Amino acid sequence: MDALIVTLPGDGIGPEVLASGQRALDAIADRYGHSFHYDQQLIGGAAIDATGSPLPDNTLASLRDCDAVLLGAVGGPKWSDPNASVRPEQGLLRLRESLEVYANLRPVKVSASLRDASPLKGELLDGVDMLVVRELTGGIYFGEKTQTPDAASDLCTYTRGEIERIVRVAAKLAGARRGRLCSVDKANVLATSRLWREVVNSVMADEYPAVELETLLVDAAAMHLLSRPKDFDVIVTENMFGDILTDEASMLAGSLGMLPSASLGDSTRGLFEPIHGSAPDIAGRGIANPCGMLASCALLLRHSLGLDEEAAALEDAIEKAVASGARTADLAAPGSTPLSTDAMTAAILKFL
């Protein structure tokens, strides 16, 4: 297979982990006889510095002919003024809109060898294997915003169609897994959540009666993620709730650096990125955890390129490397010597 992948290193540790991702994709290409080509472009703070825009026209143009997009991270203290008219995060939101990706898939699977890395009791972590499906292009992040010196507002809106399409994505995934879907909302307070719940109940009853549906308020879901995480199969929720809950769920896996994500729409062209941020406090030190990026590359192979065997091989290599004791600083036990980003990447690729 020949494939063109747009790479967006971005800011902070983004370039470091993206370099590891390309090493992994090249290793897969060599082993399985594929040819992956890369088109590196600017996004985020790096793009602001170079062009004045967080998503330049050249980056937007590169998206038209690519098969997938691989992103490092955006943002950092240099561009963190909330009153600035141009901010790195604007580039990420516009990127999602431009790609028309509305379903953000965030798998959370706990490796038995990382039980001690999580702050939770080990017995709560056995068997944890969930998938959070986050609606990505609606809600309060994209609503109209106003601000004066004394007041501010963010409008949260959802349409029936937006909710229906994300619920169908989640329900299909649940049907292919363990057959359980948990919908998370705040219907006791928010009108958008009352519509969300109504639409979820209707779609599930009419189209997916074989999938077991559970409904939780977001505050209860946050509690149950920590008290009974193994009970969850697929979780579907709106944009902001999904953003917050998946950062919480990363503690189940031991570190934010372990978790990947795939943002998908109606075509096979997707956006793939680790869920961690730009981590400016460790940028340039060569100690970032590449596992989330490599797992995101596996999702790219599976969802955009249709290479299931290759994706599984990369995921298996990550699991075997971690099980062998390979650890970056975010996972290392006190007194142990952690691996650098490059050394951790090499340790994983040995298991391909």
- CATH of residue 304's domain is 3.40.718.10
308 is catalytic: no
User: What's the mean pLDDT in 137-150?
Assistant: 94
Q: What is the pLDDT of residue 122?
A: 84
Examine residue 281 and state whether it is found in any structural domain, yes or no: yes
Measured CA to CA, the distance from residue 215 to residue 74 in angstroms comes to 33
Q: For the chain, what is the domain count?
A: 2
Q: Which of 141, 154, 172, 320 is catalytic?
A: 141
Q: What is the pLDDT of residue 336?
A: 86
Residues 2 and 37 in one domain: yes
Residue 252 CA to its chain's centroid (Å): 15
Q: What is the pLDDT of residue 123?
A: 87
Residues 240 and 276 in one domain: no
HSE value, Cβ hemisphere, 13 Å, CA-based, for 197: 15
Q: Which of 102, 186, 208, 233 is catalytic?
A: 186
186 is catalytic: yes
Measured CA to CA, the distance from residue 189 to residue 207 in angstroms comes to 27
pLDDT confidence of 251, banded at 50, 70, 90? confident
pLDDT surpasses 90 at 174: yes
Burial of 134 (0-12, 13-18, 19+ CB in 10 A): buried
Residues 280 and 194 in one domain: no
Examine residue 121 and state whether it is found in any structural domain, yes or no: no
Residues 184 and 223 in one domain: yes
Q: Are 332 and 8 in contact (CB under 8 A)?
A: no
The model carries a pTM of 0.93
Residues 244 and 137 in one domain: yes
What proportion of the chain, given as a percentage, has pLDDT over 70?
100
Considering only residues 253 and 194, tell me which one the structure prediction assigns the higher pLDDT: 194
pLDDT surpasses 90 at 111: no
Q: What is the pLDDT of residue 114?
A: 87
Q: What is the pLDDT of residue 79?
A: 95
219 is catalytic: yes
User: What's the mean pLDDT in 120-132?
Assistant: 91
pLDDT confidence of 42, banded at 50, 70, 90? very high
141 is catalytic: yes
pLDDT confidence of 80, banded at 50, 70, 90? confident
Q: Tell whether the torsion through CA atoms of 133, 250, 211 and 183 is positive or negative.
A: negative
Measured CA to CA, the distance from residue 32 to residue 26 in angstroms comes to 10
Quick one: tokens of 121? Answer: 């009791």
Most confident of 8-17, 82-91, 108-117: 8-17
Examine residue 71 and state whether it is found in any structural domain, yes or no: yes
pLDDT confidence of 210, banded at 50, 70, 90? very high
Examine residue 116 and state whether it is found in any structural domain, yes or no: no
Examine residue 300 and state whether it is found in any structural domain, yes or no: yes
Measured CA to CA, the distance from residue 241 to residue 260 in angstroms comes to 18
Q: Which of 67, 185, 233, 243 is catalytic?
A: 243
Q: Which of 26, 39, 247, 342 is catalytic?
A: 247
How many C-beta atoms lie closer than 10 Å to residue 289's C-beta?
28
Examine residue 139 and state whether it is found in any structural domain, yes or no: yes
Burial of 245 (0-12, 13-18, 19+ CB in 10 A): buried
pLDDT surpasses 80 at 78: yes
Residues 196 and 225 in one domain: yes
Q: What is the pLDDT of residue 57?
A: 97
Which of residues 251, 279, 303 is at a domain's end?
251
Residues 134 and 238 in one domain: yes
Q: Are 240 and 234 in contact (CB under 8 A)?
A: no
Place of tokens 């406090």: 281
Residues 209 and 317 in one domain: no
pLDDT surpasses 90 at 273: yes
What element of type H or E holds 88?
A: helix 88-99
Burial of 14 (0-12, 13-18, 19+ CB in 10 A): buried
Residues 232 and 189 in one domain: yes
Backbone torsions φ then ψ of 85, nearest 5 degrees: -75, -20
| CATH number of the domain within which 137 lies | 3.40.50.2300
Quick one: tokens of 329? Answer: 């600083």
Residue type, 174: A
pLDDT confidence of 183, banded at 50, 70, 90? very high
pLDDT confidence of 328, banded at 50, 70, 90? very high
Give the start-end residues of each E strand in the chain: 2-10, 35-40, 68-73, 103-109, 129-135, 145-147, 152-154, 180-185, 212-217, 234-237, 260-264, 271-274
User: What's the mean pLDDT in 109-126?
Assistant: 86
Q: What is the pLDDT of residue 56?
A: 98
Quick one: tokens of 41? Answer: 């472009």
Examine residue 40 and state whether it is found in any structural domain, yes or no: yes
User: What's the mean pLDDT in 70-95?
Assistant: 93
Which of residues 251, 286, 308 is at a domain's end?
251
Which of residues 251, 271, 291 is at a domain's end?
251
Q: What range does the domain containing 59 cover?
A: 1-101+261-352
Q: What is the pLDDT of residue 319?
A: 95
Residue 121 CA to its chain's centroid (Å): 25
Q: Which of 65, 219, 266, 308 is catalytic?
A: 219
Residues 184 and 296 in one domain: no
Examine residue 107 and state whether it is found in any structural domain, yes or no: no
pLDDT confidence of 157, banded at 50, 70, 90? very high
pLDDT surpasses 90 at 185: yes
Residues 151 and 77 in one domain: no
User: What's the mean pLDDT in 160-169?
Assistant: 98
User: What's the mean pLDDT in 10-39?
Assistant: 98
Measured CA to CA, the distance from residue 197 to residue 185 in angstroms comes to 7
HSE value, Cβ hemisphere, 13 Å, CA-based, for 334: 0
Residues 164 and 79 in one domain: no
Considering only residues 83 and 67, tell me which one the structure prediction assigns the higher pLDDT: 67
Q: Tell whether the torsion through CA atoms of 172, 173, 177 and 178 is positive or negative.
A: negative
Give the start-end residues of each E strand in 167-270: 180-185, 212-217, 234-237, 260-264
